A and B are shown apart, each in its own frame.
Chain A
Amino acid sequence: MESLSDRLKALGVQLGTQNLRPHSAQDRFPIEDVIAGEEIETPLGVVFQITQQFDIHYQHGQVHFDAPLNLQLVREWGKTDIEKSNQIDQLIFLDTETTGLAGGAGTFAFLVGLGIWNPDGFRLVQLFMRNPGEEPAMLAVLNRIVAPFKTVVTFNGKTFDIPLLNSRHLINSITTPFSNMAHLDLLPLARRLWRNRLPSRALGDLERDILGVVRSGEEIPGWMVPQIYVDYLRSGDARPMKGVLYHNAMDILSLAALLHYDAHLLENPLKIEPTEGLDLVAIAQIYEEMGDLGKSIELYEAGLNAGLPQPIFIQTLHRYASIYRKRNAWPETIALWQRAAEQQDIPAAIELAKYYEHHERLPMDALRWTDNALGWLLLLPLRPSEKLYWKSELEHRRDRLMRKIRTGALEDGG
């Protein structure tokens, strides 16, 4: 009888069959021999759990875990259900390692790392599936651990980790605990804070650039993780998993540290050393959106004084000016536009021209700003299309002002 694979090959299927069955028994290194942990029993089977306790005085990069922590602003910004995330001990940190990024029902999380603050410090729990058959048990233990908490804290968990875990619950016909929890995702906040300052807002990069953490040689880069797990399933050799567990543990610790850092930064942005102008104006904008204009003005000033790259400097002046403008605080507004105009900023010159034309009724002054801007146009390194746009805009304005001045002169004369 012809085997199925022979039959399919004869039909022209390229199977790429490799002999991937487990290696000999001597090659097998179960996870138990690689890292200390325990087998947790549930009605749905068993799963492997690794627990580490970090001292209350643990320091992760520049973050001290025992420093006081006020979550008020982070919560407010993230619009997290305040009721649910009142207390630090009601937070649970979560990060998963998965079999890939392809998405859909075929991807699962084989490792879930969880972090909890308790009276003794920080407890890190990792649930590891020694084979995919342990998934129901892993979800059961996960649910048991998560149940008492009100808020889950993740990094990009809103798009990735939590939908994935919800999907796994559905596939295993187990009720997900996350639909009743608040969710604080630190990625959107990181994007807001460091969009302009850092080339990447990935957790690993923030950890290095913001928290000042250096990972050890054990670290496995995230993109290698799926392949390492698949290799482990085939070979039974769990030794390379050690690096994956380390990677996941560091992610959880950095997540907790980042929350500390973010909370502190939002609360006391001026006390962070060294002062980063870009961080200050990013926070100023956050305060502005939350309606604390006093604080946001203070931070815009501080940001402008701390030094900013040219385009951000101009952008900030406009944004800052608009706060005053909305309140019709014209002298402050004018001053800020003028600061921008000192940098030969054409939009600022146009704002000034408009102001003098319509508010002060001083077409001559308006004309001066228009002419200034037309002058800059010759010097500024603009794209031809931009140049054309501003040129037509300014000349149009100039013509109108000239007409106005002429008619005005006639009227005056009359």
Chain B
Amino acid sequence: MDSPQGNLDSLLLRWHKDHEISDNIVHWTVTPARKAVLYPLPAELTPVLGKTLEELGYKGIYQHQKLAYQTIKMGLNAVVSTSTASGKTLCYNLPVFDGLIRDSNARAIYIFPTKALAHDQQETLTQLDEQLGGVVPAGTYDGDTPTAHRAFIRSNARLLLTNPDMLHTGILPQHTLWAEFLRNLRFIVIDELHVYRGVFGSHVANVIRRLKRIAAHYGAYPQFILTSATISNPLALAERLTEEQCKLVDEDSSPNGEKNFILYNPPIIDADLGIRRSASSEGVQLAGDLLAYRVQTILFARARRSVEMILRALHSRYPEEQKQIHGYRSGYLANERRSIERGLRSGNVHAVVATSALELGIDIGGMDASIVVGYPGTIASLRQQIGRAGRRSGTSVGILVASAAPIDQYLIQHPEFVTDRSPENALINPDNPLILLQHIRCAAFELPFRPGEKFGTITWETLKEFLDLLEQTGLLHSTENRYYWIADQYPAQEISLRNATAQNVVLRLEDEGNSRIIGTVDQISSTWLVHPGAIYLHEGQSYLVKDLDLEQFEAKLVESNEEYFTEAKHQTEVEKISVIETSPTLRGEKTWGEIQVTTQIVGFRKINWITRETLGQELLDLPPNHLRTTGYWFTLVDEAIDYLRQNQLWTNDANNYGSNWNNVRQLVRERDQFTCQMCGAPETDRPHHVHHKVPLRSFVSLEQANNLENLVTLCPSCHRRAELVVKICSGLSGVRYVLSQLAPLFVMCDTEDLGAISDIQSPLTDGRPVVLLYDQVPAGIGLSEALYHMHDSLLKEALELVNRCPCQDGCPSCVGPGGENGAGGKQEALALLQVLTSDGQLVVT
């Protein structure tokens, strides 16, 4: 594209002046251009490598590259955490090639999280090797490697590119085929370290334990080189993942041009409800400006569907440029993608609308502008997406267009999270007993355990408990000096690195006598997602679940064209198993402990896609699901409750329903045929309750509140739940909502990874009010532990978020929507958070 630089500068100037735009810009950070600081190639580099790099045009290396090289040279492990496009790959290629050229037997493994990344790197490495004269042959070994090539790669590759899954199922269980390779294994490179978090990271940490164990069997003790996008704890994560001491390298002297970072909040169109204009339409608007100024732009959207929507909008706005505006997401063919990547590098493609598929590693050169529509889920992703804009020189702009989600609204106040320090802690728990059990099985298969042996940092005492258990289940046989695998099984095959539990429910599509499997869901989610009667969405098609067989672990589905979706109704109960740690907090107490969450799906609602109206309800009789996990909860002292109550910020007290309530109640019960409208239970000896859908106290007049439309018959237990929903919306529930939305930012997980419950009278605290956040994975992966430790700052950040929200009384961006469940409870939540965070005197007003 012609002269984009001047164009971008003038567009930025225009945005600055144009109130239509500038009014929505919450923050505009300009990072000045930075000149490269180059260091000479290390003198001790093997001459052939130095010469080759010079031939390839390297005039020197950057500071992190130099430090990484030195660290490895000293025999230490290195973790490199620098910004996108700073040249991280040379940080490992330099020491690895140097080591492999010096020692002609030495081998290295490069672990990439995806096959696509390995293939992308393979090309680069092969080119480098050709330049070197073919001394370090590289081979990719993954699920796509043809069987006929495998033996050749095993015996010839000195640099093996693979992924954790292949290591887990294909290499480690067959390690004797790799004896020569493993005996000489000198380096293990782990790229995109920050991806290895949560359940997946906890699995991969155990795969690393197995790899180290097998390498040690052959007498090899390889060094680790890891690279990470910017997160808050790269060193801790690297050390937890490898169980080795690592040295952090984060000094970056690579050059970049002037970078503009804009936080853009779409304008409010309904002040009462706090509704803003949609992020994607604003994104299209901004992209349109950039295109008009001929600035090469990448636009990121979260879902595949939004990619297509935005693409359609841009195409209709710029029909003559259709060929220069592309989509990019999974589902596009490989050669289609390659051609778009080339087009981006050459400038023939003016704009691309992508999902995170373009975020990791893939080389497209630097764009001039990057627009991220909605927070992509982690700061690391956001930084990588924003980082797609920016060249070695010249101006670039990265824009986050916030959605209405609380996390977006919070982030929009924190540009420093993107431009400076990241708040994200990537957490793993390799010692989660479920995950550990699965990998001890694999390790026992791979090599008999000896008494006194450790598994990573797992002591022999603990390990022995697991081994004895596996012996009791018939998988192992022990003699006085070994535990031998004796079963005719290949355990790695049935263990997925993506799930904590091995058990999945298979989704079988029945189609006119034919049947095929279209996917799986894990057993724990199955009653929720594929209960009988559920509408299950898969690849844009909706299916009706005919049957769920939890003994055969199979759900039977048929294609469906119903115009509704379903929403499961559940009952959740929490039980305390044990307290791990507890400590007093300001006017309260926080606890980290083991809990059991029992969830039962009791029925579901059918909801019309378009009108959102409930078409009907059905009851279900499914077994309860027990989740034994770790949780973090806090309560507040009586003094604080009293204070809130006296200021009418604690709404748990009885209402006055009016003098004619008995008549109204009778009328409503008659109308509803004396059956509970939630679970369908008929009245027995005692009358059912009548419930206000919108709570009484939200109305000025009793007449309005007691309008028949607002009243519904409920059995006592459904009523208790319904009341809970309403009450906790005022205060506790608001705090629960904001914390459940905000916490993932600090512990780098999805909102679904954390369960959140608030309860006025919780069994966790002998009937005191509680807000609880818990790991959704059995036994936990460390999220609640981390949250327990960051309690104070977490509550402060929540307070700030709610404080800054411009809405009246709660909205989806802060304490949760008001609307049908009653008032938002913003004031109550604010008061609660204040009481728990600011240590001033409590004064009754």
Taking Cβ atoms with an 8 Å cutoff, the residues of A that contact B are 3-5, 7-8, 10-21, 99-108, 131-133, 166-167, 170-171, 173, 226-227, 229-230, 233-234
Cβ A13 vs Cβ B434 within 8 A: yes
- Residue of chain A at shortest CB distance from B183: A170
- Residue of chain A at shortest CB distance from B441: A106
Q: A4-B433, A133-B480, A233-B486 are in contact. Are A18 and B473 (CB under 8 A)?
A: yes
* 5 contacts across the A-B interface (CB closer than 8 A): A13-B501, A104-B490, A106-B489, A167-B177, A173-B217
B7-15, B323-331, B464-472: which lies at the A interface?
B464-472
A165 to chain B, nearest CB (A): 10
B185-193, B445-453, B741-749: which lies at the A interface?
B445-453
Residue among A3, A18, A101, A104 making CB contact with B474, cutoff 8 Å: A18
B838, CB-defined interface residue at 8 Å:
no
A42 to chain B, nearest CB (A): 15
B621, CB-defined interface residue at 8 Å:
no
Which residues from A are CB-within-8-Å of B437?
A: 8, 13
B362, CB-defined interface residue at 8 Å:
no
Residue among B175, B466, B474, B477 making CB contact with A131, cutoff 8 Å: B477
Cβ B433 vs Cβ A105 within 8 A: no
- Residue of chain B at shortest CB distance from A132: B484
Give the CA-CA distance A8 to B473 in the complex, in Å. Answer: 13
Give the CA-CA distance A13 to B469 in the complex, in Å. Answer: 12
Residue among B446, B481, B487 making CB contact with A133, cutoff 8 Å: B481
Give the CA-CA distance A45 to B708 in the complex, in Å. Answer: 87
Q: A18-B474, A20-B472, A102-B490 are in contact. Are A10 and B628 (CB under 8 A)?
A: yes
Residue among A21, A103, A230 making CB contact with B486, cutoff 8 Å: A230
Give the CA-CA distance A170 to B174 in the complex, in Å. Answer: 11
B18, CB-defined interface residue at 8 Å:
no
Cβ A5 vs Cβ B469 within 8 A: yes
Cβ A105 vs Cβ B173 within 8 A: yes
Cβ A11 vs Cβ B433 within 8 A: yes
Cβ B489 vs Cβ A102 within 8 A: yes
Which residues from B are CB-within-8-Å of A18?
A: 472-474
Cβ A133 vs Cβ B479 within 8 A: yes
- Residue of chain B at shortest CB distance from A45: B481
Which residues from A are CB-within-8-Å of B492?
A: 104
Cβ B490 vs Cβ A103 within 8 A: yes
B176, CB-defined interface residue at 8 Å:
yes
- Residue of chain B at shortest CB distance from A170: B176
Cβ B446 vs Cβ A106 within 8 A: yes
Q: A4-B433, A133-B479, A233-B486 are in contact. Are A11 and B469 (CB under 8 A)?
A: no
Cβ A11 vs Cβ B628 within 8 A: yes
Known: A5-B469, A104-B173. 14 other contacts (CB 8 A): A4-B469, A7-B433, A8-B433, A11-B778, A12-B501, A12-B523, A18-B472, A19-B472, A20-B472, A21-B472, A106-B173, A133-B482, A171-B176, A226-B488
Which residues from B are CB-within-8-Å of A167?
A: 176-177
- Residue of chain B at shortest CB distance from A102: B490
Give the CA-CA distance A114 to B217 in the complex, in Å. Answer: 30
- Residue of chain A at shortest CB distance from B465: A4
Which residues from B are CB-within-8-Å of A103?
A: 174, 490
Cβ A170 vs Cβ B474 within 8 A: no
- Residue of chain B at shortest CB distance from A5: B469
Q: A12-B626, A16-B473, A106-B445 are in contact. Are A99 and B479 (CB under 8 A)?
A: no
Which residues from A are CB-within-8-Å of B627?
A: 12
B760, CB-defined interface residue at 8 Å:
no
Taking Cβ atoms with an 8 Å cutoff, the residues of B that contact A are 173-177, 179, 217, 433-434, 437, 444-448, 465-466, 469, 471-474, 477, 479-482, 484-492, 501, 503, 523-524, 596, 626-628, 778-779
Which residues from A are CB-within-8-Å of B173?
A: 104-106
Instruction: Name the 4 nearest CB pairs between A and B, nearest first.
Output: A100-B488, A133-B479, A106-B445, A132-B484
A88 to chain B, nearest CB (A): 32
- Residue of chain A at shortest CB distance from B779: A11
A167 to chain B, nearest CB (A): 4
Give the CA-CA distance A19 to B471 in the complex, in Å. Answer: 10
Among A8, A19, A21, A106, max chain B CB count under 10 A is at A106
Cβ A17 vs Cβ B469 within 8 A: yes
Give the CA-CA distance A167 to B434 in the complex, in Å. Answer: 30
Q: A15-B469, A132-B448, A133-B482 are in contact. Are A105 and B434 (CB under 8 A)?
A: no
Cβ B480 vs Cβ A99 within 8 A: no
- Residue of chain A at shortest CB distance from B625: A12
- Residue of chain A at shortest CB distance from B479: A133
Among A21, A166, A173, A233, max chain B CB count under 10 A is at A233
Give the CA-CA distance A396 to B434 in the complex, in Å. Answer: 70
Which residues from A are CB-within-8-Å of B174?
A: 103-105
Which residues from A are CB-within-8-Å of B434?
A: 8, 11-13
Give the CA-CA distance A190 to B555 in the complex, in Å. Answer: 47
B168 to chain A, nearest CB (A): 12
Q: A16-B473, A101-B488 are in contact. Are A170 and B628 (CB under 8 A)?
A: no
Give the CA-CA distance A372 to B445 in the complex, in Å. Answer: 66
B841 to chain A, nearest CB (A): 45
Residue among A3, A11, A132 making CB contact with B482, cutoff 8 Å: A132
Residue among B481, B491, B628 making CB contact with A12, cutoff 8 Å: B628
Cβ B176 vs Cβ A166 within 8 A: yes
Among B433, B486, B503, B626, max chain A CB count under 10 A is at B486
Which residues from B are CB-within-8-Å of A10?
A: 596, 626, 628
Which residues from B are CB-within-8-Å of A14?
A: 503
Q: A105-B445, A132-B484, A132-B486 are in contact. Are A17 and B596 (CB under 8 A)?
A: no
Which residues from A are CB-within-8-Å of B176?
A: 105, 166-167, 170-171
Cβ B489 vs Cβ A105 within 8 A: no
Give the CA-CA distance A382 to B488 in the complex, in Å. Answer: 46
Which residues from B are CB-within-8-Å of A17?
A: 469, 472-473
- Residue of chain A at shortest CB distance from B493: A102
Give the CA-CA distance A14 to B174 in the complex, in Å. Answer: 27
Which residues from B are CB-within-8-Å of A15?
A: 469, 472-473
Q: A17-B472, A171-B447 are in contact. Are A106 and B485 (CB under 8 A)?
A: yes
Cβ A131 vs Cβ B433 within 8 A: no
Which residues from A are CB-within-8-Å of B177?
A: 167
A180 to chain B, nearest CB (A): 17
Which residues from A are CB-within-8-Å of B628?
A: 10-12
Which residues from A are CB-within-8-Å of B501?
A: 12-13
B468 to chain A, nearest CB (A): 8
Give the CA-CA distance A131 to B466 in the complex, in Å. Answer: 21
- Residue of chain B at shortest CB distance from A107: B488
Which residues from A are CB-within-8-Å of B446?
A: 104-106
A164 to chain B, nearest CB (A): 9
Which residues from B are CB-within-8-Å of A230?
A: 474, 477, 486-487
A168 to chain B, nearest CB (A): 8
Give the CA-CA distance A72 to B436 in the complex, in Å. Answer: 56
Cβ B486 vs Cβ A99 within 8 A: yes
Residue among A100, A131, A132, A173 making CB contact with B487, cutoff 8 Å: A100
Which residues from B are CB-within-8-Å of A13?
A: 434, 437, 501
Give the CA-CA distance A99 to B476 in the complex, in Å. Answer: 12
Which residues from A are CB-within-8-Å of B523?
A: 12
Which residues from A are CB-within-8-Å of B486?
A: 99, 132, 229-230, 233
Which residues from B are CB-within-8-Å of A20?
A: 471-472, 474
Give the CA-CA distance A8 to B432 in the complex, in Å. Answer: 10
Which residues from A are CB-within-8-Å of B445?
A: 104-106
Residue among A12, A102, A171 making CB contact with B778, cutoff 8 Å: A12
Which residues from B are CB-within-8-Å of A8?
A: 433-434, 437, 469
Give the CA-CA distance A108 to B484 in the complex, in Å. Answer: 10
Give the CA-CA distance A229 to B488 in the complex, in Å. Answer: 11
Give the CA-CA distance A218 to B433 in the complex, in Å. Answer: 46
Cβ A132 vs Cβ B479 within 8 A: yes
A63 to chain B, nearest CB (A): 33
A229 to chain B, nearest CB (A): 8
Give the CA-CA distance A263 to B627 in the complex, in Å. Answer: 67
A29 to chain B, nearest CB (A): 18
B269 to chain A, nearest CB (A): 46
- Residue of chain A at shortest CB distance from B445: A106
